[in-house]
Amino acid sequence: MSPRLPAVRPRQLIRVLERKGWRLDRTSGSHQVFVHDVVRHVVVVPMHNKDLGRGLLARILQDAEISRDEFLKLL
């Protein structure tokens, strides 16, 4: 069973995404859109001043093809 995802701020998630090769493509309002050269998805991170919900975080990690264990190591 994989460990439960911690509550993280958007800035912490962005740091992990950048370590995995994601780069900021554009900003749309309060959301930042990241792209990757290999992965064919875009990842949208809401830049609000509160923790990301665990469900939203899980979905972003799934789209970015980052496992929970790998995320916890990079955090």
Question: Which residue, 3, 5, 2, 1, is CA-closest to 54?
Answer: 5
- Superfamily name with CATH number, domain 10-74: Hypothetical protein. (3.30.920.30)
66 and 5 Cβ atoms separated by less than 8 Å = no
Amino acid occupying residue 8: V
The full set of domain ranges for the chain reads 10-74
Residue written as tokens 């949208």? 44
Q: What is the pTM of this model?
A: 0.90
Residue written as tokens 């912490």? 12
23 CB-contact burial (10 Å; exposed 0-12 / middle 13-18 / buried 19+): exposed
Q: What would the pLDDT profile of 4-60 be if each residue is shown by its tens digit?
A: 889 899 999 999 999 999 999 999 999 999 999 998 889 999 999 999 999 999 999
